[in-house]
């Protein structure tokens, strides 16, 4: 076995990660070449390069840890992540454009974001749970524990409140369920209340959507779902539509702006949508 095979384990994955990391450093270097010299922007790529080297060293060490050790540590790391998220709600502070969000813990001159630790902890425990199963996930009941594993840190992050990071936990859940061979139709059903949440802005649109969901369950999924699962799913869709307006009103202005700009960057072309619009212009 060659050195690269021993070091990388999955050569394609590591190669893709290295390529994206180096591309990011190149973009930071390019962004720092401005007409008016600025020491911060000019040296930003060097800082990023140093952290990449640190990350490669960490990868080299962590990739040598036996898998049983990681499985043993999954639960303690998850508990640690939850504790840190709880502490963040008490002594956390904001930073930069998110000054009003309690997302960072500062220890002397060092600051870190516990949500990043919680992401890794959630992935580890979720991976252990999914790998320990004797059969694939086939019903909504099978998704209760994976959903609970993700729901706890997600709720604590929402209390900070950090909408962007909380959505990352949703992505982690669906990505891991997909790679665990969960049927796509089951993932679509789980996601239906979230889709309904966004469609609740218009009564006609949402009503059409919920009728389509019910029709699909009756015509195509009747033999795959228990009655209480079907009822629970419909009630979840109605609940998401009910809380849509209060939830929207509870969001801060910058959080609303992020969602609106994601849907249509032109709503704020000189503000939050500027970078997206310019990126599209650069690509052509």
Indicate the pTM of the whole model: 0.77
How high is the pLDDT of residue 124?
A: 92
- The pLDDT, as a whole number, for residue 95 is 67
Q: What pLDDT does residue 35 have? A: 67
Q: Binning pLDDT at 50, 70 and 90, where does residue 79 land?
A: very high
**pLDDT tens digits, one per residue of 96-119:** 656 567 778 887 777 788 888 899
Q: What is the pLDDT of residue 20?
A: 93
Q: Where are the domains of the chain?
A: 1-64, 67-182
Q: What is the pLDDT of residue 132?
A: 85
Q: Which of 99, 82, 188 is nearest to 143 (CA)?
A: 188
Q: Does the pLDDT at position 232 exceed 60? A: yes
Interval 116-162: pLDDT, tens:
889 999 999 999 988 888 888 888 888 889 989 999 999 888 888 77
């Amino acid at each position: 076995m060659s050195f690269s095979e021993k070091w990388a384990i999955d050569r394609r994955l590591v190669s893709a990660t290295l390529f994206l990391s180096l591309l990011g450093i190149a973009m930071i270097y390019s962004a720092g070449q401005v007409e008016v010299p600025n020491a911060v922007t000019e040296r930003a790529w060097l800082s990023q390069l140093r952290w990449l080297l640190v990350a490669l060293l960490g990868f080299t060490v962590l990739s040598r840890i036996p898998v049983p050790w990681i499985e043993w540590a999954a639960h303690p790391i998850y508990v640690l992540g939850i504790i840190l998220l709880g502490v963040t709600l008490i002594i956390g502070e904001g930073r930069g454009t998110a000054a009003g969000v309690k997302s960072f813990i500062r220890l002397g001159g060092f600051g870190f974001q516990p949500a990043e630790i919680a992401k890794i902890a959630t992935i580890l425990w979720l991976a252990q749970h999914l790998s320990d199963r004797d059969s694939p996930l086939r019903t909504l009941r099978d998704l209760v524990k994976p959903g609970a594993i993700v729901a706890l840190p997600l709720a604590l992050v929402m209390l900070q409140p950090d909408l962007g990071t909380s959505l990352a936990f949703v992505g982690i859940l669906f990505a891991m369920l997909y790679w665990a061979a969960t049927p796509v139709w089951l993932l679509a059903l789980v996601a239906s209340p979230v889709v309904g949440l966004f469609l609740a802005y218009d009564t006609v649109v949402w009503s059409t959507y919920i009728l389509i969901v019910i029709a699909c369950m009756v015509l195509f999924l009747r033999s795959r779902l228990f009655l209480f699962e079907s009822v629970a799913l419909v009630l979840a869709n109605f609940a998401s539509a009910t809380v849509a307006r209060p939830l929207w009103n509870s969001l801060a202005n910058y959080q609303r702006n992020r969602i609106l700009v994601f849907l249509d960057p032109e709503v704020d072309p000189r503000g939050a949508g500027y970078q997206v619009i310019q990126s599209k212009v650069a690509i052509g």
